[in-house]
Chains A and B, each alone.
Chain A
Amino acid sequence: FSQDGPIKIGASLPLTGSFSIAGQKHQQGYELCVDLINERGGILGREVELIVSDNRSDPATAINQYERFLNVDGVEAVYGTFSSRLSFPVANILARNGMVHALPAGGALRIYEQGHDNIFYFQPNAAEYVGASLAGVVRDLVPAEEAPKTVAIISADDFFANGVWSGLMGEIVTDPADGSEVADLSPGYLAELGLEVVYSERWPEEGFNDWLNLANQVRQTEPDLIIGLTASAEEAVQLTRAFDTVRATPQMVYFSQGTQAEYLEGTGDSAQGVLVHTSWHSDAPFQSLLAGSEFSNQDFVGAYEAAYGSPPDEDSAIPFAVCQGIEQAMVGAGTTDNAAMGDWLDARTKEDAVRTILGRFSWDDRGLPVEKPFLMTQWNDGELQFIYPTDEFEGVSAMSYPKGSF
């Protein structure tokens, strides 16, 4: 590795293709962070140069590009890519090359169960544990006598959504390669809450159009709680509109996607009362470290708005945190040697954590964060309010309940 000149860092992102929206926001997150670091004097006294290339949401291209970063561009570190499906193969390549793999997105438990020790997940937890926040909301925020009794759960057949489903329904996660058990999640969050599943259905990842039919099926079972695990905010829009059309009247609605501004635009008033989990919220008062100085979540929101003219969402915040993590690892290890960086990250504890705008991170052996719950938000009066957990910080809004009609 060359020790002078800028520190090159590569990131292959799905800037086009099915993940392009998230991919582009990730690029903004990385770029903003690198710019801010450079403004503050770089890392280890060296400028940082970010190389982003487009993998078109295609795994082969993603591999190719990380290969190129390492062989041709001579990068000293990499940032992870977006989504589980791209991260799976990328994880292998990076492990083989001994690179620290900081993932912004890739919630599938199986990625971490493969035994790579260079991998670090920069979100609250694997998809399988997302349901915990919903369970918390039902347990803590809804009066026992009004609590929902029945639930309809519908889901996209998507990596992340399937993971959430497994947790909620208490499935055994197996590795299809050899049929071995990865995790046993039974009885599942829904069973723990004593909810009766009156309807469950999955729709295919691509080409599904029959939303009204699906919504009608749900309506017929008259569930108190509707859980919609969509693959994208857009599917959440479709579902919401369909529920509106069929005049469904649940007490509570939870979607796995839908924090984005696009969701509100597509649904308008129907969004009222919809719960969505998130890794990040602009109101969360996290204090973090950037280039050695304190940098709060609010600073991030401000910097982002100044740079791009619109408020950020989690798809930009998470990569920002990844970038912070790599920076702190380099500084902490005092070198850009990836083995040392990996050791440093491994050594983090709850007290001596990596500090990012998503909060503090330390990891277990698998590379999953320790004790980090997801946040729960709710659309209220056209605003995404942060409602759970209630005990961690100030500024938590009250949940509106029940939802009633769309």
Chain B
Amino acid sequence: MEQIIQTLILGLALGGVFALMGSGLSLVFGVMRIVNLAHPSLIIAGAYATYWAFKLWGIDPLVMLPVAAIILAAIGVLLYKLVFEREARSAKYSEMTVLLTFATAMIVEGALGGMFTNTQRVTSPSYATDAIFIGNIFIPTGQLYAGIVSLLIISALALFLKYSRFGNAIRATTQNREAAELLGVNVNLVCIMSFAIGIGLAGAAGSLVSFVFSFFPAKHWEWVAVLMSLVVLGGMGSILGTVIASFMLCVVAAFVGAYVGATWSTMTFFLALFLILLIRPQGLFGEKPELA
């Protein structure tokens, strides 16, 4: 029994981190129809920012989080201007951006590798390897803090998108760019802003990741497929779906890891993805496709 609770806790703890990593991806897809394969690589960029701040000046990763978010948001603006703006009007936008973001991921990886080498890094604030023990059961504090912070950020964001005027403009632009323009929305600005927010989330996630996992520039390939499974499972573009999917899958993976074998725990994500495609292609919270 104790072990079951312990495994559950570990699964949930990991889920919190993945939730934030996945939700930025989900957001950018949801509002902009961009499948941002570069997202994980930008998370790593955020992690590096946090790492150096910690190493050079001893700044706590959680304090660094907003700064990393802002830095990455700025990079997002730059990226958008350089890479995505031209394509924004194309009918093949969604498909094109998959490839563009893929290429971006390689650029980010190459640039990070050039600057910081491929050595794996991790920040070590004291709470990163600490745990709260309740009897024999423990809650890892690093992941606990990360989970709480990530849920806070996600909720704030979801509310902003749903209820603010700007949030509405973002969604409107995604759905019908021309119409939004005809109603007076400066669509280009909207696109830049929402991209910046999405990438900013990657920066924030990077800060959390920096003390939960170790990272190096090429690490993002490991995450891409996992994060994507979360997003698809949750239903493309649904942030709530992504969050729930992360918790669900991480818990399942934890149990698989504990009771079936560590090798199979990573498999959980991909198998779940296939099962969901088999029985419910639109994911948990996605919209049903037109043709059944």
Direct touching of A and B (C-beta under 8 Å): yes
Q: Which of A71-79, A140-148, A197-205, A319-327 contacts B (4 or more CB under 8 A)?
A: A197-205
Q: CB-defined interface of B139-164 with A at 8 Å, one 1/0 digit per residue?
A: 01011000000000000000000000
- Do B120 and A232 touch across chains, with their CB atoms under 8 A apart? yes
Whether B281 is near chain A, meaning CB under 8 Å from some CB there, is no
B10 vs chain A, min Cβ distance (A): 5
Residues of B within 8 A of A (CB): 3, 6-7, 10-11, 13-14, 113, 117-122, 124, 128-131, 133, 138, 140, 142-143, 213-214, 216, 218, 222, 225-226, 253-254, 257-258, 261-263, 265-266
Residues from 206 to 224 in A contacting B, C-beta threshold 8 Å: 206-210, 212-214, 216-217, 220
B77 vs chain A, min Cβ distance (A): 29
Q: Which residues of B contact A238 (CB under 8 A)?
A: 122, 213-214
- Do A209 and B124 touch across chains, with their CB atoms under 8 A apart? no
Residues of A within 8 A of B (CB): 16-18, 20-21, 24, 154, 157, 201-204, 206-210, 212-214, 216-217, 220, 232-234, 237-238, 241, 244-247, 262, 266, 268, 270
**Who on chain A is nearest to B217 by CB?**
A20
Q: Which residues of A contact B142 (CB under 8 A)?
A: 245
**Who on chain A is nearest to B211 by CB?**
A241
Q: Which residues of A contact B3 (CB under 8 A)?
A: 220
Alpha-carbon distance between A241 and B123 when the two chains are bound, in angstroms: 11
Q: Identify which of B6, B13, B119, B128 contacts A241 (C-beta below 8 A).
A: B128
Alpha-carbon distance between A232 and B118 when the two chains are bound, in angstroms: 12
B12 vs chain A, min Cβ distance (A): 12
Q: Which residues of A contact B133 (CB under 8 A)?
A: 247
Q: Which residues of A contact B226 (CB under 8 A)?
A: 207
Contacts A157-B263, A234-B120, A237-B120 hold; do A213 and B7 have CB atoms under 8 A apart? Answer: yes
- Do B129 and A270 touch across chains, with their CB atoms under 8 A apart? yes
A311 vs chain B, min Cβ distance (A): 15
Q: Which residues of A contact B140 (CB under 8 A)?
A: 212, 245
Alpha-carbon distance between A220 and B142 when the two chains are bound, in angstroms: 21
A209 vs chain B, min Cβ distance (A): 6
Alpha-carbon distance between A127 and B262 when the two chains are bound, in angstroms: 23
User: Can you name 28 A-B pairs with beta carbons within 8 Å?
Assistant: A17-B218, A18-B218, A24-B118, A154-B262, A201-B262, A203-B262, A203-B263, A204-B262, A207-B226, A210-B253, A210-B262, A212-B13, A213-B10, A213-B254, A213-B257, A213-B265, A214-B257, A216-B6, A216-B7, A220-B3, A245-B140, A246-B131, A246-B138, A247-B131, A262-B119, A266-B120, A266-B121, A266-B122
Q: Which residues of B contact A210 (CB under 8 A)?
A: 10, 14, 253-254, 257, 262, 265
Q: A24-B118, A237-B122 are in contact. List 5 more A-B contacts (CB 8 A).
A: A202-B262, A207-B222, A234-B214, A238-B214, A241-B129
Alpha-carbon distance between A237 and B124 when the two chains are bound, in angstroms: 11
Q: Is the interface of B mostly helix, strand, loop or mixed?
A: helix
Q: Which residues of A contact B265 (CB under 8 A)?
A: 208, 210, 213
Alpha-carbon distance between A21 and B218 when the two chains are bound, in angstroms: 12
Alpha-carbon distance between A216 and B138 when the two chains are bound, in angstroms: 10
Alpha-carbon distance between A216 and B137 when the two chains are bound, in angstroms: 10
Q: Which residues of B contact A209 (CB under 8 A)?
A: 14, 213, 266
Alpha-carbon distance between A246 and B265 when the two chains are bound, in angstroms: 19
- Do B130 and A237 touch across chains, with their CB atoms under 8 A apart? no
- Do B118 and A20 touch across chains, with their CB atoms under 8 A apart? yes
- Do B120 and A245 touch across chains, with their CB atoms under 8 A apart? no
Q: Which residues of B contact A204 (CB under 8 A)?
A: 262-263, 266
Contacts A20-B118, A237-B214, A245-B129 hold; do A202 and B263 have CB atoms under 8 A apart? Answer: yes
Alpha-carbon distance between A24 and B118 when the two chains are bound, in angstroms: 10
Alpha-carbon distance between A89 and B3 when the two chains are bound, in angstroms: 45
Contacts A208-B266, A210-B257, A245-B140 hold; do A266 and B14 have CB atoms under 8 A apart? Answer: no
**Who on chain A is nearest to B255 by CB?**
A213
- Do B216 and A266 touch across chains, with their CB atoms under 8 A apart? no
Q: Which residues of B contact A213 (CB under 8 A)?
A: 7, 10-11, 254, 257-258, 262, 265
Alpha-carbon distance between A18 and B129 when the two chains are bound, in angstroms: 26
Q: Which residues of A contact B113 (CB under 8 A)?
A: 16, 20
Q: Which residues of A contact B122 (CB under 8 A)?
A: 237-238, 241, 266
Alpha-carbon distance between A268 and B55 when the two chains are bound, in angstroms: 13
**Who on chain A is nearest to B13 by CB?**
A212
Alpha-carbon distance between A200 and B265 when the two chains are bound, in angstroms: 16
Smallest CB-CB A-B distances: 5 pairs: A234-B120, A203-B262, A20-B118, A244-B129, A207-B222
Alpha-carbon distance between A216 and B265 when the two chains are bound, in angstroms: 15
Alpha-carbon distance between A238 and B222 when the two chains are bound, in angstroms: 16
- Do B124 and A268 touch across chains, with their CB atoms under 8 A apart? yes
- Do B10 and A216 touch across chains, with their CB atoms under 8 A apart? yes
Alpha-carbon distance between A256 and B261 when the two chains are bound, in angstroms: 21
Alpha-carbon distance between A24 and B119 when the two chains are bound, in angstroms: 11
Alpha-carbon distance between A232 and B257 when the two chains are bound, in angstroms: 21
**Who on chain B is nearest to A23 by CB?**
B118
Q: Which residues of A contact B10 (CB under 8 A)?
A: 210, 212-213, 216
Q: Identify which of B129, B143, B262, B266 contacts A214 (C-beta below 8 A).
A: B262
- Do A266 and B266 touch across chains, with their CB atoms under 8 A apart? no
Q: Which residues of A contact B138 (CB under 8 A)?
A: 245-247
Alpha-carbon distance between A92 and B142 when the two chains are bound, in angstroms: 48
B182 vs chain A, min Cβ distance (A): 46
**Who on chain A is nearest to B222 by CB?**
A207
**Who on chain B is nearest to A201 by CB?**
B262
Q: Which residues of A contact B121 (CB under 8 A)?
A: 266
B245 vs chain A, min Cβ distance (A): 16
Contacts A212-B10, A213-B257, A238-B214 hold; do A21 and B119 have CB atoms under 8 A apart? Answer: yes
Q: Which residues of B contact A262 (CB under 8 A)?
A: 119-120
**Who on chain B is nearest to A234 by CB?**
B120
Q: Which residues of B contact A16 (CB under 8 A)?
A: 113, 118
Alpha-carbon distance between A262 and B120 when the two chains are bound, in angstroms: 8
Alpha-carbon distance between A157 and B264 when the two chains are bound, in angstroms: 12
